[in-house]
Amino acid sequence: MDATVSKRWLLARLYEPEQTIVDCRFTLGKPQAGRESYEQEHIPGAVYLDLELDLSGPVGEHGGRHPLPDPQVLAARLSKLGIGNDSRIVAYDDESGMNAARLWWLLRYLGHEQVFILEGGFSAWKAEKFPVTDHQPVRVPSSFVPQLQSQMVAGVDKVRQVSEQTVDAEAGKGETASHPALPLLIDSRANDRYRGQNETLDKKAGHIPGALNYFWKDTQNADGSFKSAEQLAEHFAGLDKDREIIVYCGSGVTACPNVLALEKAGFKKVRLYAGSWSDWISYSENPVATGEE
């Protein structure tokens, strides 16, 4: 099944007991806005998970602006909300799917495959006159036992190695020049941030040397839904499906919809650099590139 579900699909299954709907609305710079929106109105039965309090770990010297949460801490939070290993989760937000995709990725990282994203998000749901409520459900705790899928993550050492090899290959140096199996680095941020021309969130501007730019919002239609598998395959047509791909963004959030889109387009070897750009620049020795690759 596709990683996304339609509004009518969810409407038809709104009250199925094995399902948990998760509201992931969050506004950067306004950390209370998402929860306040949830408390005002949400899809019936939905619980709330906060990007920074639930779907991220504490910020430190390294790890980026939204470090991965501790798997056991997240599992305990899921259990408290009544989410178990047999639950089907449908996540939504109002930010073009970026926060919902973060939960989608995290759950799969914890070994849980039954997780989906609502196409179009909350505003599209409400625009269809589908039901909303301010009632917060009482949840019976469950047991969520994580089975970590460590192969889904690439750390800074791996990314540094790939970057160095890519730069050498582009310069025609060493054995890497004829090594087509070299992993690809994908930067998911807007092109002006990738080029280093408009950085408003992080202390340094630019991108990881050797990375290509595929803006995450280009994977979506005007209504905030994801493009079809065929459209996404065309969007990523310049990439080799046999090569490993490491995706990053500013802090590991907007890279997640790009991971989803790549997998929807048929790419099988996709990993997330969770700390992303904000982690990369926390190491003073890491080089920074600007302009186009």
Catalytic residues: 249
The single-letter code of the amino acid at 130 is F
Residues 22 and 25: their CA atoms lie apart, in Å, by: 9
Q: Tokens 């409407």, residue?
A: 11
Tokens of 193: 């941030």
Nearest in space to 93 (alpha carbons), one of 119, 66, 121: 121
Residues 218 and 232: their CA atoms lie apart, in Å, by: 9
* Alpha helices, H only, the chain: 7-12, 33-40, 71-80, 98-109, 121-127, 156-170, 191-195, 229-235, 255-264, 276-280
Q: Tokens 């890491």, residue?
A: 286
Residues 180 and 222: their CA atoms lie apart, in Å, by: 35
Nearest in space to 146 (alpha carbons), one of 113, 122, 184: 113
